[in-house]
């Protein structure tokens, strides 16, 4: 299927406090995204640290995000797992709670075959929600090859493929094979502009936690083929994107949200807080973009 997602989507962090999810802070973050023109929020994707959350916390977070969004922004829920049955149950739960769609990362660590990837997504598609396949081999050890993406595109409710392989040649070949059948989304902030200009219909961005309005404008100018403005925006965003991945995601972006005054808390173990030298780098990049940074 095509047309499910167009524009900017934010891979949301999950703010934590001493007693669990900080829902007041999450509410502020969702409002910030709405003000910035963000088209969709990805809740409990990798950036949201769902692997460290209890089932109760995950369900409450989905319900809260849906209530805050109030139908004004699409809510896409991360449901992927290296256990197909668990991913299926989570996808069912997302449907029951009212999610607009789901994002499912490829099974990780198990390192299934390409046939295994197809079987996994076919199983999740049976739930009936728009389904986004997430290809991020640097974290999972599994790569959705272009010929496999072509097979996935035949699944009726496969809405898109979030591409974070970092291989632009592969992304281009995947787009060539799936064009008109399902969409391709940028899952790598450093490649947002080239993917959009090559036919990508959306970005699912980590950086847009921090600067949603800029990322939204990048997508709009790319679609309008206002290349001078799109390139200028991309040039401005790239150093911040680099800073956001100076340590493993979401360590830097969570620190960045704290710098912006959002009380994001710290990542849950085994992730650690951002190293001081990297915090200084992140602070400097936010200030270069004119953001008011807190102590």
Q: Which residues are registered as beta bridge partners of 10? A: 41, 205
Q: Are the C-beta atoms of 99 and 73 separated by less than 8 Å?
A: no
Q: Please give the structure tokens belonging to residue 204.
A: 């699912």
Average pLDDT over residues 134-158: 97
Average pLDDT over residues 218-237: 98
> What's the CA dihedral at 199, 183, 48, 193 to 10 degrees?
0
Q: What is the CA radius of gyration of the chain?
A: 18
Q: How far apart are CA 242 and CA 237, in angstroms?
A: 9
Q: What is the value of pTM for the model shown?
A: 0.96
Catalytic residue from among 134, 185, 216, 254: 134
Q: How far apart are CA 278 and CA 284, in angstroms?
A: 10
The model's confidence at residue 294, banded by pLDDT at 50, 70 and 90, is confident
The answer to whether 254 is a known catalytic residue is no
Q: How far apart are CA 55 and CA 211, in angstroms?
A: 30
Domain limits, the chain: 7-224
Q: How far apart are CA 138 and CA 291, in angstroms?
A: 31
We find that the CATH architecture of domain 7-224 is: Alpha-Beta Barrel (3.20)
Per-residue pLDDT for 295 more than 80? Answer: no
pLDDT digits (tens, 9 = 90+) for 177-196: 999 999 999 999 999 999 99
Q: Are the C-beta atoms of 210 and 260 separated by less than 8 Å?
A: yes
Q: Are the C-beta atoms of 243 and 206 separated by less than 8 Å?
A: no
Catalytic residue from among 74, 162, 216, 254: 162
The answer to whether 162 is a known catalytic residue is yes
């Amino acid at each position: 299927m095509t047309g499910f997602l167009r524009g900017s989507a934010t891979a949301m962090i999950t703010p934590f406090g001493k007693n669990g999810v900080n829902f007041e802070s999450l509410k502020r973050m969702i409002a910030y995204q709405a003000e910035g023109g963000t088209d969709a929020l990805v809740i409990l994707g990798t950036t949201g640290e769902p692997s460290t959350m209890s089932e109760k916390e995950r369900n409450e977070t989905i319900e809260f995000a849906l209530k805050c969004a109030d139908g004004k922004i699409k809510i896409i829920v991360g449901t992927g797992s290296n256990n197909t049955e668990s991913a299926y149950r989570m996808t069912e739960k997302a449907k029951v709670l009212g999610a607009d769609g789901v994002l499912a990362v490829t099974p990780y660590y198990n390192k299934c075959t390409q046939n295994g990837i197809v079987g996994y997504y076919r199983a999740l598609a049976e739930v009936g929600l728009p389904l986004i396949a997430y290809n991020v081999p640097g974290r999972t050890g599994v790569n959705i090859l272009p010929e496999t993406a072509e097979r996935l595109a035949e699944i009726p409710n496969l809405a898109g493929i979030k591409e974070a392989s970092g291989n632009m040649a592969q992304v281009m070949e995947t787009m060539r094979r799936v064009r008109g059948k399902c969409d391709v989304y940028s899952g790598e902030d450093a490649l947002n502009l080239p993917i959009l200009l090559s036919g990508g219909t959306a970005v699912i961005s980590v950086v847009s936690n921090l600067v949603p309005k800029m990322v939204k404008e990048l997508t709009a100018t790319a679609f309008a083929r206002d290349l001078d403005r799109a390139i200028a925006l991309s040039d401005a965003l790239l150093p911040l994107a680099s800073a956001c991945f100076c340590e493993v995601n979401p360590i830097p972006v969570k620190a960045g949200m704290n710098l912006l005054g959002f009380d994001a808390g710290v990542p849950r173990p085994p992730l650690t807080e951002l190293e001081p030298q990297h915090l200084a780098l992140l602070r400097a990049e936010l200030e270069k973009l004119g953001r008011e940074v807190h102590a």
